[in-house]
Structure formats: structure tokens, C-alpha cells
Amino acid sequence: MSVIDKIYFRSSTEELRSILQDKKVFIIIDKQVEKLYGSLFPFQKVFIDASEETKNLATVQSVIDQLMKMGADRDCFLLGIGGGIITDLTCFVASVYRRGVKYALIPTTLLAQVDAAIGGKTGINNAGFKNIIGLFNKPEFVYVCSHFLRTLDEKNMLSGAAEMLKIGIIGDSTLYKKAVAWFKENHLMDYDTKEDLESLILRAAKYKCKIVEKDFHEHGPRKVLNLGHTFAHAIEKCSPVPVSHGNAVSVGIIMAARIGEKMGKTNPKVTNALVADFTAIGLPTATTIDIRTLMEAISKDQRHADGTVDFVIPEKIGSVSIKRIDIDQLRTLAFSI
Ligand SMILES: NC(=O)c1ccc[n+]([C@@H]2O[C@H](COP(=O)([O-])OP(=O)(O)OC[C@H]3O[C@@H](n4cnc5c(N)ncnc54)[C@H](O)[C@@H]3O)[C@@H](O)[C@H]2O)c1
């Protein structure tokens, strides 16, 4: 069954009532989102303090304990409402609770609307490593609604911008250009800018679905979505201060382009264009964390048993390639950028 036909793209929450009727709904919701939008969802709820520190097995255990106390049986329907932390946690809990129950997602950050909630993939953190435990399991539906973005702050809008631009760089140069133009002018969504942003979200989410449909379990083509993530995960792990996922991805994409240059695959003009666009938008393009530290994290976290890493190279805006590269070779290239 297709992924795309299960996604609602809407400007209001109106339709949710009819979609959810006759379901035994239990909500997993970000505490901040509950404060802003909780009254829209009159169901039993589990509240989460969303952060990378809480996207772990202890929280999964706590959510399961609470669902059991609330009497959520095998016919329950879990609804995750929040950003990527909540959508990842909900997918994970729904996949293991009572050997799997039905679930749906209402992503409330831009990042989750264009990326995290799309494609039925989850990862949770363990022992300081990002998304080290996870699985693939499609939701019943995803309800993408711009209404929630009215309250999203600049930092989180930009974090979402990075993942949207990533999708454009992978395969849709028009999306990339339009997104750059929108984010150069806007960092927040308001009434006048809503429609343009909605069409960008729709375009990005649809493109992601197209990739996911080819390779749901990420054995091959889906790996392109990891563009920028080799270094992003290491940056998130090693940063002494919390860094947003999108900011880490932004730096990771530029590092991948610079490494692509050294491999003779990326034209320096492409890297320069990316740096200029990201800078104009307000996204970071470099990190102060040293390469040795980052490579150590990559080596522990993302290396295959044979000592290689699948590295995604942005060759052009709208075209990437995946290269299985030896970790020592990647280290040498990273030191040379
Ligand atoms: N599974 C996947 O395919 C996938 C893809 C990309 C990212 N991710 C994961 O997503 C996570 C990042 O997601 P995120 O950036 O959405 O982070 P998040 O869930 O922490 O949300 C960011 C912040 O926004 C707040 N927030 C959420 N909705 C809001 C709203 N409508 N108004 C105001 N504030 C709101 C939250 O309280 C939080 O403080 C990372 O853990 C990343 O690994 C997963």
C-alpha cells in the first residue's frame, strides 16, 4: 500500500474529529504542545518532556506503564502529537506495545511535517548515541496541518528548513530554490506566508514519500535521506551545548559537499552556492567541534562491521550519490577539508 495516500495535508484541525471517531484513542503528546493545543484532543493522554535526553528506552517504559494503567488494550489507537521526538517515540511504542497496536501521527513542527513523521521510520537514543535502536512501521495516517506552525519559534522553523532543503538537494532543485527564497524572507509562519509554506511542505513530504516507497526498509535508495546525517549525528553527540537537529544537518550537508569536492564529485561552485544560501537563511555551515572528536563518534556509531560508512554526497543541487567508503578514508578526507 502506498505511503502518500495516508497523509492528510490540511490548514485546519476540523477533520480530525470525524477521522478519530469510533477509535479507542490514547494520546502521546509533547507537554508544550499540550499547553497550546491540548483542548483539541479530549482523550486520555501521556505527557512527554520532548528532548533528545528523553527519546530513550526509559521514556518508552514509562509510556507503556501509563498506557497499561489507563487500560489501553490491543484495540487501542495511539496518536502521537508533537515534533520529531514524539513521532519517533510514538512509532516505537506502538510497534512494541502488546506486540504492536495501530497508531497515527500529528506532527506539530516543520521538521516533523516534512521529514520525521513521514515514512514510518523510528529511532531512539541509547548510551549517548542517536537513533541507535529503531524499526520501520507505517502509521495508519499522518495529519499534516499548518495550524500548529503558528506557534513554532524561529529556531525550530529553521531546523525544519534544513531538512526541507536537504530533500530539495537530494532530488528536487525547484523545491530547493523555492524554499531558499521563502526562508530568506521569512523565519516564522503568518497568515500572509502560510499558503506558500504549505505548498513547500506538501512538495517536500511528497518527495520524501516517493523515495520511501522505493525502499521502505532503507536497504538502498532510501539512504539518500541520510544526506548530512553522518556528521550531524556526531555533532549532536559531541556538542557541549544542545544543538537543534536541523542545525546539525545543515553543517553536515556542507561538510559532505566539501568532502564530495575532495572526492572529485562535487563542483566547488555547488558548495559555495549551498554555503551562501544557508548563510543567507541563517543556518550554520561550520562547527567548532574538532574533526578527531567527530570521527571517533562516527566510527562508533555508524560504521558497518567491515569498517565502512555509507556516505551521501551532494553532487549538484537536485542530485546526490551514495558511496560506501572506508572509515579511515573518510577520516583522511575530513581532515583535508
Ligand atoms: N524518524 C525519522 O525519519 C526522522 C527524520 C528526521 C528527524 N527525526 C528526529 O526528529 C527529532 C527532531 O524533531 P523536532 O525538531 O521536531 O524536535 P522536537 O520534537 O524536540 O520539537 C522541537 C521543539 O518544538 C516544540 N514544539 C513542537 N511543536 C510545537 C508547536 N506547534 N508550537 C510551538 N512549539 C512546538 C517542542 O516542545 C520542542 O521544544 C530528532 O530526534 C530526529 O532524530 C526523525
Which pLDDT belongs to residue 4? Answer: 54
| 165 Cα–ligand 1 center, Å | 16
Mean pLDDT of 306-329: 96
| 318 Cα–ligand 1 center, Å | 25
Confidence of residue 306 (pLDDT cuts 50, 70, 90): confident
CB within 8 Å of 25: residues ≥ 6 apart: 43, 44, 76, 77, 78, 79
> Which residues have C-beta atoms less than 6 Å from ligand 1?
30, 32-33, 36, 50, 52, 55, 82-86, 88, 108-109, 111-112, 115-116, 119, 121-123, 131, 148, 151-152, 156, 159, 245
DSSP notation for 153-221: -HHHHHHHHHHHHHHHHHH-HHHHHHHHHHHHH-SS--TTTHHHHHHHHHHHHHHHHHHHHH-TT-SSG
188 pLDDT higher than 80: yes
Domain 158-335 falls under CATH 1.20.1090.10: yes
CB within 8 Å of 99: residues ≥ 6 apart: none
Domain spans of the chain, in order of start: 4-151, 158-335
Q: Which atom of ligand 1 is nearest to the CA of 37?
A: 31
**Burial (CB count within 10 angstroms: exposed 0-12, middle 13-18, buried 19+), residue 215:** middle
| 87 Cα–ligand 1 center, Å | 8
* Ranges assigned E (strand) in the chain: 7-10, 24-30, 44-48, 76-82, 102-107, 121-126, 129-136, 142-145, 308-316, 319-326
Nearest residue (by CA) to ligand 1, atom 10, is: 84
158-335: same fold as 4-151?
A: no
Provide, rounded to the nearest whole percent, the portion of the chain with pLDDT above 90. 93
Confidence of residue 23 (pLDDT cuts 50, 70, 90): very high
Q: Could you tell me if 294 and 231 are in contact, meaning their C-beta atoms sit under 8 angstroms apart?
A: yes
Domain 4-151 falls under CATH 3.40.50.1970: yes
| 70 Cα–ligand 1 center, Å | 26
What is the model's pTM?
A: 0.96
Mean pLDDT of 28-49: 97
- Count of CB atoms situated within 10 Å of the CB of 136: 15
Tell me if residue 319 falls in helix, strand or coil: strand
Mean pLDDT of 59-88: 98
What is the distance between the alpha carbons of residues 112 and 121, in angstroms, rounded to a whole number? 12
